[in-house]
Amino acid sequence: MNKFSTVLVAIDFSDSSDNAFQMALSLAKTFSAQLLVLHVINEPVDLRGFYVPHISFARLEEEIEEGAQKMMESFCRTHIVDFEDFQELIVAGLPYEEIIAQAAEKSADLIVLGTHGRSGLDHVLFGSTAEKVVRKSTVPVLTVRLEE
Ligand code: AMP
């Protein structure tokens, strides 16, 4: 049987990713794997430096990063007990691209995602992060559905 040494779980602080996180933590414990907890700050590429003067935009970015860092720390403090081999990761960009890139960079053996995100919507028109990761990742992906 393949052994999972590094499990990457992508969280957007939604109930769905909370649920996926529980599964990822349980797998990491079972396989004594390292758990990478990744959050991607969805970068507003089109707005960068265009509508907002550069200085205030830079400050806004800093505040967003600080806020995300605090949320991540609080998430890990409240969700992880009896487990120490985890790493918090915060990056900015397109969520599906960064999830795939971070999994490759950190040599993850498995990516764990929720089927829904913060909007809770089925992404009929645009496709979801989960769908894109499943389609494009070369690393195995486990999606976890939250029962209503
Ligand atoms: P969505 O595509 O928004 O329906 O989200 C599906 C799943 O992808 C979520 O439950 C998370 O596991 C993951 N995900 C979505 N957005 C992000 C994000 N910004 N950072 C990390 N993971 C995310």
DSSP bridge pairs for 7: 35, 110
- Give residue-wise pLDDT tens across range 23-50: 999 999 999 999 999 999 988 655 555 5
- Asked if residue 67 belongs to a domain, the reply is yes
At residue 29, the pLDDT reads 96
Number of domains in the chain: 1
- Asked if residue 1 belongs to a domain, the reply is no
CATH (domain of 14): 3.40.50.620
Ligand 1 neighbours, Cβ below 6 Å, are 10-12, 14, 16-17, 20, 38-40, 42, 95, 113-114, 116-117, 128-130
- Asked if residue 84 belongs to a domain, the reply is yes
At residue 147, the pLDDT reads 78
- What separation in Å is there between the alpha carbon of 127 and the centre of ligand 1? 12
Instruction: Tell me the C-alpha distance between 141 and 4, whole Å.
Output: 12
Exposure class string for 102-120: b at 16+ Cβ within 10 A, else e: bbeeeebbbbbbbbbbeee
Q: Which two tokens stand for residue 23?
A: 């599964």
- Asked if residue 140 belongs to a domain, the reply is yes
List the domain range (segments joined by +) for residue 36.
6-145
Prediction pTM value: 0.90
pLDDT top residue among 122 and 146: 146
- Asked if residue 82 belongs to a domain, the reply is yes
Q: Does the pLDDT at position 71 exceed 80?
A: yes
